[in-house]
Amino acid sequence: MFSQKQQGVYDLLKGIESGDPDSVKVVNEAKYIQHNPQTREGGVGLAELFAELAKTNPKVEIVRLFEDGDYVFGHTIYDFSSVRVGFEVFRYEGDQIVEHWDNIQSLAGDMVAGSTKVTDLDLTEQNRDLIAEFSHKTMILDLGQVEDYLGFNYREHSSFTDIHTKAKDLEYTVNHRLLANGNFVLAVNEGYDNGVHSSFYDLFRIEAGKIVEHWDTTEKIPPQDTWLNQNGKF
């Protein structure tokens, strides 16, 4: 069962299918900060985008939806002209959305399969701290320590071969945000994919103090002179 904030995000994302402008009323247009460089600022920009996308008969499946204080973050499948997977992050003030980030890439393999059940709510902060440590020590500093954090039943959903390959091939430089809800933690990172400025979103499921599942998306950040807003990706 969704909270009021989660329901608002669910309805907003499903509005992509219908193009219904009412679905964006949860957005506070006067305060809204858009971090998708290819979307215009404010509710009007979203309404225009949804109306345009609706012409392609899109499908939106919300696979996972989480809440962390004023933030709601989701794991989604978009079927437009091609099938893509995304992470969506929304920040609320009161009962309206005032900020949005996302990270989307083409679907490859079982990028959304696996557990969806939120548990261990009392361990939210402990799990957030674990991923903060893991992200810094392994993804940024020393790949050799990865095994210390993985459970024996670890399952990989990355579009890369495995988390070892990802950490080796991509350069992580900054962690911008850690969002946690019980046994799930989303890490929002910046870095380089073969020298190209990129954003990396990594979702982890934790069990008994170990990482047991991992999902991700990698998106190249477009040149700034093509952006439709100037708020930055992060």
* 101 and 126 belong to one structural domain: no
Per the domain annotation, does 41 fall within a domain?
A: yes
| 22 vs 72, residue with greater confidence | 72
Return mean pLDDT, the chain.
90
Per the domain annotation, does 170 fall within a domain?
A: yes
User: Are the C-beta atoms of 25 and 11 separated by less than 8 Å?
Assistant: no
Look at residues 52, 84, 107 and tell me which one is the last residue of a structural domain. Answer: 107
Indicate the pLDDT class of residue 139, thresholds 50, 70 and 90: confident
Say how far apart CA 156 and CA 137 lie, in whole Å: 19
* 128 and 75 belong to one structural domain: no
* 128 and 95 belong to one structural domain: no
pLDDT (tens digit per residue) in 74-106: 999 999 888 999 999 999 999 999 999 999 999
Per the domain annotation, does 95 fall within a domain?
A: yes
Per the domain annotation, does 227 fall within a domain?
A: no
Average pLDDT over residues 106-110: 90
* 136 and 200 belong to one structural domain: yes
Indicate the pLDDT class of residue 194, thresholds 50, 70 and 90: confident
Look at residues 73, 107, 141 and tell me which one is the last residue of a structural domain. Answer: 107
Range of the domain at 166: 121-220
Per the domain annotation, does 162 fall within a domain?
A: yes
* 10 and 60 belong to one structural domain: yes
Per the domain annotation, does 229 fall within a domain?
A: no
Indicate the pTM of the whole model. Answer: 0.92
Say how far apart CA 100 and CA 121 lie, in whole Å: 24
User: Are the C-beta atoms of 149 and 207 separated by less than 8 Å?
Assistant: no
Task: Name residues whose C-beta falls within 8 Å of residue 115's C-beta, 6 or more positions apart in sequence.
Answer: 205, 213
Per the domain annotation, does 154 fall within a domain?
A: yes
Say how far apart CA 53 and CA 141 lie, in whole Å: 41
When divided into structural domains, the chain yields a total of 2
Confidence at residue 168, expressed as pLDDT on a 0 to 100 scale: 65
* 137 and 92 belong to one structural domain: no
* 136 and 68 belong to one structural domain: no
pLDDT (tens digit per residue) in 42-54: 656 667 777 777 7
Supply the CATH number for residue 58's domain. 3.10.450.50
Q: From the CB of residue 87, how many other CB atoms can be counted at a distance below 10 Å? A: 25
* 126 and 99 belong to one structural domain: no
* 103 and 125 belong to one structural domain: no
Say how far apart CA 150 and CA 75 lie, in whole Å: 22
Look at residues 45, 72, 107 and tell me which one is the last residue of a structural domain. Answer: 107
Per the domain annotation, does 233 fall within a domain?
A: no
pLDDT (tens digit per residue) in 25-35: 899 988 999 99
